[in-house]
Amino acid sequence: MNRRIVLSGAVALCLSSAGLPFTATASEPLSVLLPPWVTLPKEMTDKYTAKSGGKLDIQTLGWDEIRTKIVTSMMAKTAPASVTEMDWSWVGQFGSAGWYDDLSGALSTELKADLPTTSIFTYNGKLIGIPYNNDFRVLIYNKAHLAKAGIVQAPKTPDELLADAMAVKEKAGVAYPIGLPLSATEGSATVWYLLTKAFGGDLFDANHKPLFTNPESAGYRAMSFEIQALKDGLIDPASTSLKDVEIQELFKSGKVTFDIAGWAGNLAVYTDPAKSQVAADAAAALVPSINGKSRTIGLPGALAVPVSAGHKDTARAFIDWMLDPDTMIDNYVKLGNLPTRISVLEKLNRDGKLTQGDVLVAQAAMVEPLFPEGTPGWYPEFSAAVANNLNAAAKGQVSVEEALTAIAAAAEEAQQ
């Protein structure tokens, strides 16, 4: 399934609501389960109430906790909420389980064309999630730190990144310049995926055979990069217990220089003086690579309706509202969640409201799928193995070789 987001040459589409029906029919508040980066402020929920006539009961949990709650609830044949987050990585597992409604009929032809990442959330022809959060990764850095170290441009290769980080540590007084999570969480795993691309390779071949156990492979070099940077004092040892959202807080406070796997939409937050201490210094660059050809991964989020959920009409009205251009712009400006609608992205860039817009548009055209054929049902087992073994390697409990051998074995077993 093609996850590329090609902004250039896109068909100009009207920024109307495409006939979306904002009608909430439930008398009680609609229950919604979302991750922390979609903690809608009261100003936004008030707009929803004014437009739909309904109210929201929003629960926010961490990414891993949401998945656990969904699995536990659906196994018990109860809905965790009327609307839940649907991560790109859950599609194979949740789709095969039949836990979510088919939303294929909820989008007009025009709106589908404006939402190219819907293909990621299609399982056996059923659209089980509608993408609202356009997550791809860029290199985000603190340009003031680089200037203090005498560095005039962002690093373009992994080696330059390490050299620049060491210079910043020695000359700019930043104790741990590189920010990345090394806890046993999904956020840590996705950094390794991105770095594998940066080192010029992929995780699997066309038959899903692991490609990362050879010391010369990109995946092996990517994990070695992380562990060596940790040993060299460029990454905070506390990162073995930090999640990605906590790394973001460190960047906003000026304690790290490089957010290696920066969420593209986070630039809106990083450059907001009300939310960031480094607002004037946050900048973006293409993801470094060993061969001069930047690569990145797309990890979008969607909204979905459990089959056992109540108030389905109201649930769909909420999704309609989240897709509205005004809501998407609010979601980006206030929370840093990048719009999934091409027309909204283009409008933000034209209006000069897309922070580091030229970099984001260039990087967006380079987005690659982690799994070209779609996220497989065994991905959760693989991801858990990556997170746990990467964490063990970071703690010095296993070597890089041992960690990657265990990950490969877990992937092969999960596919049986």
- Considering just the CA atoms, what is the radius of gyration of the chain in Å? 21
Distance separating alpha carbons of residues 126 and 131, to the nearest angstrom:
14
Distance separating alpha carbons of residues 298 and 235, to the nearest angstrom:
25
Q: Which helix (H) or strand (E) holds 353?
A: none
Give the ranges where 234-378 is alpha helix by DSSP (H). Answer: 244-252, 267-270, 312-323, 325-335, 342-350, 357-364
Model pLDDT, residue 117: 84
Pair 41, 269: CB distance under 8 Å: no
Distance separating alpha carbons of residues 349 and 353, to the nearest angstrom:
6
Query: What are the residues whose beta carbons fall under 8 Å from the beta carbon of 396, sequence distance 6 or more?
Result: none
pTM of the shown model: 0.78
Pair 117, 7: CB distance under 8 Å: no
DSSP code at position 121: G
What would the two tokens of residue 167 be? 């210079």
| Cα distance from N-terminal residue to C-terminal residue, the chain | 23
Tally DSSP H helices, then E strands, for the chain.
16, 13
Concatenated DSSP letters for 22-49? Answer: -----SSPEEEEE-GGG---HHHHHHHH
Distance separating alpha carbons of residues 195 and 203, to the nearest angstrom:
11
Of 248, 237, 216, 225, nearest to 162 by C-alpha is 225
Concatenated DSSP letters for 320-346? Answer: HHHHSHHHHHHHHHHH----S-HHHHH
Distance separating alpha carbons of residues 89 and 255, to the nearest angstrom:
31
Pair 411, 404: CB distance under 8 Å: no
Beta bridge partners of 39: none
Q: Which domains does the chain have, with CATH numbers?
A: 30-135+299-368 (3.40.190.10), 137-297+378-414 (3.40.190.10)
Q: Residue 63 carries which side chain, given as an amino acid letter? A: W
Query: What are the residues whose beta carbons fall under 8 Å from the beta carbon of 6, sequence distance 6 or more?
Result: 116, 364, 365
What's the helix, strand, coil split of the chain in %, to 5?
45, 15, 40
Of 405, 374, 402, 403, nearest to 2 by C-alpha is 374
Of 286, 269, 260, nearest to 355 by C-alpha is 269
Per-residue pLDDT of the chain (416 residues; tens, 9 = 90+): 332 233 333 333 333 344 344 555 556 899 999 999 999 999 999 999 999 889 999 999 998 899 999 999 999 999 999 999 999 989 988 999 999 999 999 899 999 889 888 888 988 889 999 999 988 899 999 999 999 999 999 999 999 999 999 999 999 999 999 999 999 999 999 999 999 999 999 999 989 999 999 999 999 999 999 999 999 999 999 999 999 999 999 999 999 999 999 999 889 899 999 999 999 999 999 999 999 899 999 889 999 999 999 999 999 999 999 999 999 999 998 998 999 998 998 899 999 989 899 898 888 878 887 887 678 889 989 999 999 999 999 999 999 999 999 999 999 999 99
Of 226, 225, 224, nearest to 402 by C-alpha is 224
CA 398 and chain centroid, separation: 28
Strand ranges (DSSP E) for 150-205?
178-179
Model pLDDT, residue 260: 96
